[in-house]
Amino acid sequence: MIQVELAKATSFLESGKIDAAYKKALSAFEKVKNKTGAGAEWLGWRRILAEPNDAELEQIDTLAGRFRDEVDVFIVCGIGGSYLGAEALIKALKPSFDIADGPEIIFAGNNLNGSYLRDLLTYLEQPKPDGESKKVAVNAISKSGTTLETALSFRVLRKWMHERFPEEASGRIICTTSAAGGALNALADKHGYARFVIPGNVGGRFSVLTPVGLLPAAVAGIDIRAMFYEAVAKYEELEEDPESVLKYAAVRYALGEAGKTIDLITSFETELTGLSRWLQQLLGESEGKEGRGIFPVVGSYSTDLHSIGQFVQQGRRSMMETFIAVKKGKESIYVSTTADNEDGLNYLEGKSFHNINRGALEATRQAHFEGGTPCITIELEEKNAHHLGEFIYFFELFTAVYCYMLDVNPFNQPGVENYKKGMYKLLGKE
């Protein structure tokens, strides 16, 4: 069960402000539920949980199982909402280093960096230690099918696939895109690539529980059913009792009103940095409109305590902090003792790294709180597929509610078009 700890934030606020914000949160939640808010046609991320498509989960699992057996490298080619969710899940749940548990997952299509792509092709060309060539699959993910970063990288990867594996390429390319239209559908039709549909009423950053996130996660060996059905359970629970979301939304809103303009999302669990990045996009692209919102940035502790920790402690007091914590650690490294205590660390003897990390979290949160930074903690019971499913829906609902409190449409991103217009003009697109 996800825990939301607000005490180290509420003490910065007058209770009247929190109460007023809570009323706003309640009416925002009603807008989500009754589909009366802006962008209500984009609430499909709730629909997929209200009416789970078990046949699709089966289809994803089957295809993923085939790729787990057949290929050495699985490339996820997408950007923004078409990639951050998959990266978050895989980074959180796969071992940090490749220890031969299914294909290696590589992300591409999320930048316009030619040297990255060149290095990737060089890597793909390198034979395996046994001298065999690497078997590769590519999953292109783009709802519009027109996003330049993804489309351009996919062009390069597709060409390489067809030249390198003329027989197998078509069976090892999968397009995840809208039901109709766009270049990916045209290419899938022409070459017989497998295809998964992103529902029209689910926007990119709300799409991790569709084939966008589920196929790469399943290829990585993640139990997508456990994750999906835990999200379903959270959906059902929050429909009945949204208190945890509403209280949290009220406090974050009141902090924004009180001048907090930055939300530093951070975790002491290195593997959750991808989840923080997913959340950064979910919040940032949803709330940052019409001059409103709190700017979400990602930190990774304790690494970043040695870079931005000083600022958080004593810099301009415009920041709030959101800690993503994990209650039960799984790792089993304990500190051993040495007879001469040469490195002076025997005081930690017998402690697990998880406990030491928890100690660092508690001390940091207390210090930042005392230094004037409101701290909110979101705690997952454990780092596993179940609890990530719960986390995902919790934050999708939170984001929608919070944006309605701000009076902005959570589901569009009109500002993202501005740079694209300029870029396409410079690049000579008709």
- Please give the residue ranges that form the binding site for ligand PA5 (CB under 6 A): 79-82, 142-144, 147, 150, 203-205, 285, 413
CB of 427 to ligand PA5, least distance (A): 17
**Which residue, 170 or 178, has its beta carbon nearer to ligand PA5?**
178
d(CA 388, CA 68): 22
Q: Which of 148, 348 has the CB closer to ligand PA5?
A: 148
Report the distance separating Cα 133 and Cα 160, nearest Å. Answer: 14
Say which of 285, 287, 390, 396 is annotated catalytic. Answer: 285
Residue 154, C-beta contacts closer than 8 angstroms, at least 6 positions apart:
77, 109, 138, 140, 142, 184
Catalytic residue among 35, 128, 351, 420: 420
Q: How many CA atoms lie within 13 A of 246 on its CB side?
A: 20
Give the whole-angstrom CA distance, residue 176 versus residue 137. Answer: 13
Three-class secondary structure assignment of 279-311: HHHHHHHHHCCCCCCCEEEEEECCHHHHCCHHH
Catalytic residue, candidates 167, 190, 240, 306 = 306
Residue 252 · residue 376 · CB < 8 Å: yes
Q: Which helix (DSSP H) or strand (DSSP E) does residue 144 occupy?
A: none
Residue number of the CB closest to ligand PA5 reads: 204
Q: Is 420 a catalytic residue?
A: yes
CB-nearer residue toward ligand PA5: 210 or 413: 413
User: Please, are residues 301 and 361 in contact by the beta-carbon 8 Å criterion?
Assistant: yes
Closest alpha carbon to 349 in 369, 334, 366, 364: 334
β-strand 73-77 against 136-141: which pairing, if any? parallel
Tell which residue, 400, 390, 82, has the closest CA to residue 228.
390
**Residue placing its CB nearer to ligand PA5 in the complex, 204 or 274:** 204
Least distance in angstroms from the C-beta of 381 to ligand PA5: 28
Phi, psi angle pair for 146, to nearest 5°: -120, -5
CB nearer to ligand PA5: pick between 80 and 374: 80
**Omega of the bond prior to 276 within 30 degrees of 0, cis?**
no
Dihedral (Cα; 248, 249, 255, 259), 10-degree rounding:
160
Give the nearest distance from C-beta 137 to ligand PA5 in angstroms.
19
Closer of 83 and 228 to ligand PA5 (Cβ): 83
Q: Closest CB to ligand PA5 among 82 and 267?
A: 82
Q: How far is CA 128 from CA 131, 134, 156, in A?
A: 5, 6, 22
Just list the catalytic residues.
285, 306, 420
